Structure 1
Amino acid sequence: MVDQVARTRRKPRADAERNRERLLEAASEVFNLGKAEGSLEAVARQAGVGIGTLYRHFPTREALFEAIYRREVQQLVALAEQLRKDPSSLGAVRRWVHALVGFISVKKGMSAALAVVAQSSSQLAICMVEQMTQALDTLLQRAAAEGEIRDDIGADNILRALVGICYMQDGPDWQSSVLRVVDVFIDGLRRDRR
């Protein structure tokens, strides 16, 4: 019995972890192209693993989408932490927001499935939004303290605006269009230096 408990607590094997990461990366690429209806077989093929490996890690489509969502948010939080050391506080905000547009592009490709995940786990969605808000808020506070941007707008307002901008755009080149608008938006946050 002790042996069985010890086995269940072991860390996953290194190759299993690599396969899981490859699956998440492949699924993000597939969904980033707007192929939410793409088959799980296509995701497995893109990752270079068999469908059985995919199902061992993610028994349902929703489990895969939830894992992608969590991973993308964790990457945004980690990026904010890295960008705290960026010499330009405004540049750090801009880079993080550009990364957020990439996150939203993956999310747009999974929107129908994520709606199901959000309904079944509203706490997950709330937790993820809180993490992104805190990550951006850290960067905004630094930029405001350094006099680079206004201090009268919060991360939650900016996130809502950016999500709205992203979801109003469609078509094959929507990301580059959004990034142009986002740059104008960020420039609008700058303090008037007259």
Structure 2
Amino acid sequence: MTDGADRPSRAEARPLRADARRNRERILAAAVRVFTTQGLDARMEHIAKEAGVGSATLYRNFPTREVLVEAVYRNEVAQLCDAAPELLARESPAEALRAWTRLFLDYVTAKYGMIDALRAIAATGGNPYGHSREMIQGAIASLLDACVAAGVIRTDIGPADVAAALEGIALTSAGAEHREQAERLLDLTLDGLTVRR
């Protein structure tokens, strides 16, 4: 049994035409950029303009700011998690893990741009987070399993440990102005996972 937050909206339940799907993807991408820089001050009309669509198209897809924020957040989580197998398909396990941690920073930066809106949704009984923690730990687990199989990282560290470390780095170093520091801390964390030969 799933909660209501995990059920797709009517707009998501039926397949979209190719042009409608492109518009939706452009709106979500534009909303990430705008929310990241402007937070709750972001105006829906600005997001529509940034996406290159009319306000009517924006509101047809996302009738309220809350619906848009939740869709953006869920889309960011899905993209982050989908990146794990894609990276493993084209990179060595260690490089895939390293690249994915950078994507995690991007995800957290976008999330913090929307944090007040996400909290407001949660305060009204919504559940924008759904199963995001489990999904992210699942992605981390797949990366760690590949690294362990390749013999490049320790076997005594689990996905929850890595997730906690990444969240800690993100909490203290999220934001473009701290990006270099965050990447140094990520490298330090990943070096700590490396098997010493």
TM-score, normalising length: structure 2: 0.85
Larger radius of gyration: 1
Where does the alignment leave 5 or more consecutive residues of structure 1 unmatched? 1-8
Equivalence map 1:36-185=2 (5 Å): 36-119=40-123, 120-122=125-127, 125-169=129-173, 172-185=176-189
Contact 1:92–1:139, Cα closer than 8 Å, also in 2: yes
Contact 1:80–1:139, Cα closer than 8 Å, also in 2: yes
RMSD over aligned Cα, in angstroms?
1.9
* Equivalent position to 1:192, from 162, 185, 196: 196
Question: Which range is displaced more, 10-19 or 87-96?
Answer: 10-19
Superposition deviation, residue 35 in structure 1 = 3.2
Relative distance call for 1:10 and 1:94 in structure 2 (3 A) is closer
| Matching residue's letter, 1:121 | G
Contact 2:109–2:175, Cα closer than 8 Å, also in 1: no
| Matching residue's letter, 1:95 | A
Aligned residue pair count: 184
Contact 2:108–2:174, Cα closer than 8 Å, also in 1: no
- Counting aligned pairs with the same residue, the percent is 40
Question: Which range is displaced more, 50-59 or 18-27?
Answer: 50-59
Relative distance call for 1:160 and 1:118 in structure 2 (3 A) is farther
> What is the CA–CA distance in structure 2 between the aligned matches of 1:160 and 1:67, rounded to whole Å?
25
Contact 1:136–1:155, Cα closer than 8 Å, also in 2: yes
TM-score, normalising length: structure 1: 0.86
> What is the CA–CA distance in structure 1 between the aligned matches of 2:175 and 2:79, rounded to whole Å?
26
User: SS of the residue aligned with 1:150?
Assistant: coil
Superposition deviation, residue 87 in structure 1 = 4.3
Superposition deviation, residue 53 in structure 1 = 1.5
Relative distance call for 1:36 and 1:10 in structure 2 (3 A) is closer
| Matching residue's letter, 2:80 | L
Contact 1:34–1:108, Cα closer than 8 Å, also in 2: no
User: SS of the residue aligned with 1:137?
Assistant: helix
Contact 1:93–1:140, Cα closer than 8 Å, also in 2: yes
| Matching residue's letter, 2:85 | E
Relative distance call for 1:118 and 1:52 in structure 2 (3 A) is same
Where does the alignment leave 5 or more consecutive residues of structure 2 unmatched? 1-12
Superposition deviation, residue 106 in structure 1 = 0.3
User: SS of the residue aligned with 1:84?
Assistant: helix
Superposition deviation, residue 31 in structure 1 = 2.1
Contact 1:30–1:36, Cα closer than 8 Å, also in 2: no
> What is the CA–CA distance in structure 1 between the aligned matches of 2:94 and 2:147, rounded to whole Å?
6
Superposition deviation, residue 135 in structure 1 = 0.9
Superposition deviation, residue 109 in structure 1 = 0.4
Superposition deviation, residue 159 in structure 1 = 1.4
Relative distance call for 1:171 and 1:129 in structure 2 (3 A) is closer
